């Protein structure tokens, strides 16, 4: 018997047809029907997907899932099948500890809002979830140019991880403005198929920055609405026809009108090879250039989403290959103090930069000549 690898798919579940919070970021403010998803519809969809070799990650989205009278049963449906249930709870949800207990079944909980005031007002809910051992995150839906200091200070005071995101499932992408006070590292994960997750720092405080949506062809995203209808994703709502969970696999394999084919471009790369055959790659040369600009291993590590110790090990490896020192430390030591490049390293970085500019310019010129010819 052969082993069949499971295929990942993200399932967005809207369990409730309408709520009455009137949040500014809500996508469902025009909904008029007060409907509730049947547990059997979710169970049927999960069983179909699992039977076809998929492993759904289930997200219960707004309107407020806590309005559903059988939320614990819905949350448990994925968990009983060895899957994860993530629940999004608006910070303005009702203050009722009996209702809050429904959330204790979830694998992960996001308490979210676009208002710092609302998140601060949810402190009792946050304390309840933390005291009961929930995997709890804060999510702040940020508008353009909004100051992050108040919400990051609140997250720090509460000792909670915070994610900063655009309003979720809005069709238009909101690009984050350049903010010199933020240090944003590389992408570390995908979130709900269409969002990128990056590690960011505000001073010494880390948080997760969500970028997107970036809809691509081949995206594995499904949407289940309160009436048990299945759609390609929450961006394509309302669902005009009436597909049942039985059609989920067909819908999942259909092309999405929002999907974009990412443009692929050939980009030249540089690496240094010693006489002994040892190699130093371009990412390491870029790291040296970054350290020279920032004057700090810790700041360079934050910028690329790494740890100072891992950066230090990479430098020591390069030094052993090259046979000379690359950095010198100032007061405080390599990891906590400032650093600067040695004269030999500065010369290496300078020559690398000149070579890269020369190659890229030659490559671009060649591309233009071919396209015009």
* % residues pLDDT > 70 (the chain): 77
Q: What is the mean pLDDT of residues 275-299?
A: 85
User: What is the CATH number that goes with domain 7-253?
Assistant: 3.20.20.70
CATH class of the 271-372 domain in this structure: mainly alpha
pLDDT at 124 over 90: yes
Is 229 in contact with 237 (CB distance < 8 Å)?
no
pLDDT at 344: 94
Residue 372: the pLDDT is: 42
Topology alike, domains 7-253 and 271-372: no
Query: 20 by DSSP, 3-state: which?
Result: coil
224 strand-pairing partners: 13, 230
Mean pLDDT of 115-130: 94
DSSP classification of residue 80: T
Q: Rounded to whole angstroms, what are the CA distances from 294 to 177, 184, 237, 300, 344?
A: 21, 14, 46, 7, 18
Would you say 60 and 75 are in contact if contact means Cβ atoms under 8 Å apart? yes
Confidence of residue 127 (pLDDT cuts 50, 70, 90): very high
Does position 263 have pLDDT exceeding 50, yes or no? no
Q: Is the pLDDT of residue 13 over 90?
A: yes
Summarised one tens digit per residue, pLDDT across range 56-104 is: 999 999 889 999 999 999 999 999 999 999 999 999 998 899 999 999 9
Tokens of 138: 């804060």
Helix (H, G, I), strand (E, B) or coil at 88: strand
* Position 291 pLDDT exceeds 70: yes
pLDDT tens-digit readout, 142-182 = 875 667 889 999 999 999 999 999 887 765 444 444 456 67
Q: Residue 52: its pLDDT value, please?
A: 85
**Which of the four pLDDT bands, split at 50, 70 and 90, describes residue 336?**
low
The strand order across the sheet containing 85-90 reads 182-191, 195-202, 205-211, 161-165, 136-141, 108-113, 85-90, 54-60, 7-13, 221-224, 230-231
Mean pLDDT score of the chain:
80
Q: How many residues does the chain have?
A: 373
Question: Rounded distance, CA 240 to CA 124, Å?
Answer: 40
Q: What is the mean pLDDT of residues 319-346?
A: 81
What mean pLDDT comes out for the span 113-130? 94
Instruction: Decide: 113 and 141 in contact? Cβ < 8 Å.
Output: yes
What pLDDT does 268 receive? 62
The pLDDT, as a whole number, for residue 140 is 94
**Domain boundary assignment for the chain:** 7-253, 271-372
| The predicted structure's pLDDT at residue 175 | 46
* 21-35, 267-281, 333-347: least confidently modelled range: 21-35
Interval 326-352 mean pLDDT: 80
pLDDT digits (tens, 9 = 90+) for 198-238: 888 888 788 999 988 877 666 788 889 898 888 877 765 55
**Among the ranges given (118-122, 208-212, 247-251, 356-360), the one the predictor scored with the smallest mean pLDDT:** 356-360
Of the pLDDT bands very low, low, confident and very high (cuts 50, 70, 90), residue 371 is very low
Per-residue confidence (pLDDT) for residue 36, from 0 to 100: 92
Q: Which of 285, 336, 283, 342 is nearest to 309 (CA)?
A: 336
Strand extents, DSSP E, 212-350: 221-224, 230-231, 271-273, 279-281, 327-329, 339-341
Q: How far is CA 132 from the centre of its chain?
A: 26
Angle (CA) 289-294-297 rounded to 5° is: 85
Pairwise CA distance, residues 163 & 139, whole Å = 5
């Amino acid at each position: 018997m052969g082993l069949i690898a499971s295929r990942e798919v993200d399932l967005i579940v809207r369990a409730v047809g309408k709520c009455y919070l009137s949040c500014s970021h809500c996508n469902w403010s025009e909904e008029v029907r007060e409907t509730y998803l049947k547990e059997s519809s979710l169970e049927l969809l999960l069983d179909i997907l699992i039977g076809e070799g998929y492993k759904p990650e289930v997200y219960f989205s707004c309107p407020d899932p806590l309005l559903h009278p059988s939320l614990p049963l819905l949350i448990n449906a994925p968990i009983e099948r060895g899957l994860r249930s993530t629940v999004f709870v608006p910070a303005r949800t009702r203050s009722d500890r009996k209702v809050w207990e429904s959330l204790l079944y979830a694998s992960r909980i996001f308490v979210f809002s676009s208002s710092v005031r609302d998140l601060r007002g949810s402190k009792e809910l946050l304390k309840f979830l933390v005291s009961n051992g929930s995997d709890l995150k804060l999510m702040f839906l940020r508008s353009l140019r909004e100051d992050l200091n108040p919400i990051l200070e609140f997250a720090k005071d509460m000792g909670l991880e915070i994610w900063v995101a655009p309003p979720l499932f809005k069709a238009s992408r909101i690009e984050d403005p350049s903010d010199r006070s933020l240090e944003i590292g590389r992408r570390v994960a995908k979130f709900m198929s269409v969002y990128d997750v990056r590690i960011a720092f505000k001073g010494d405080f880390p948080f997760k920055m969500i970028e997107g949506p970036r809809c691509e062809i081949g995206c594995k995203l499904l949407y289940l609405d309160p009436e048990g209808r299945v759609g390609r994703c929450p961006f394509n709502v309302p669902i005009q026809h009436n597909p049942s969970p039985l059609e989920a696999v067909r819908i999942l394999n259909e092309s999405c009108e929002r999907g974009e084919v990412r443009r692929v471009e050939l980009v030249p790369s540089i690496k240094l090879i010693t006489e002994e055959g040892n190699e130093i790659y371009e990412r390491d040369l870029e790291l040296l250039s970054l350290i020279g600009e920032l004057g700090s291993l810790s700041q360079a590590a934050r910028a690329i989403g790494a740890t100072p110790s891992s950066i230090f090990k990479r430098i020591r490896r390069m030094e052993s290959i090259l046979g000379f020192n690359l950095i010198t430390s100032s007061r405080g030591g390599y990891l906590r103090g400032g650093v600067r490049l040695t004269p030999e390293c500065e010369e290496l970085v300078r020559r690398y930069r000149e070579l890269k500019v020369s190659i890229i310019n030659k490559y671009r010129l060649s591309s233009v000549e071919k396209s015009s010819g």
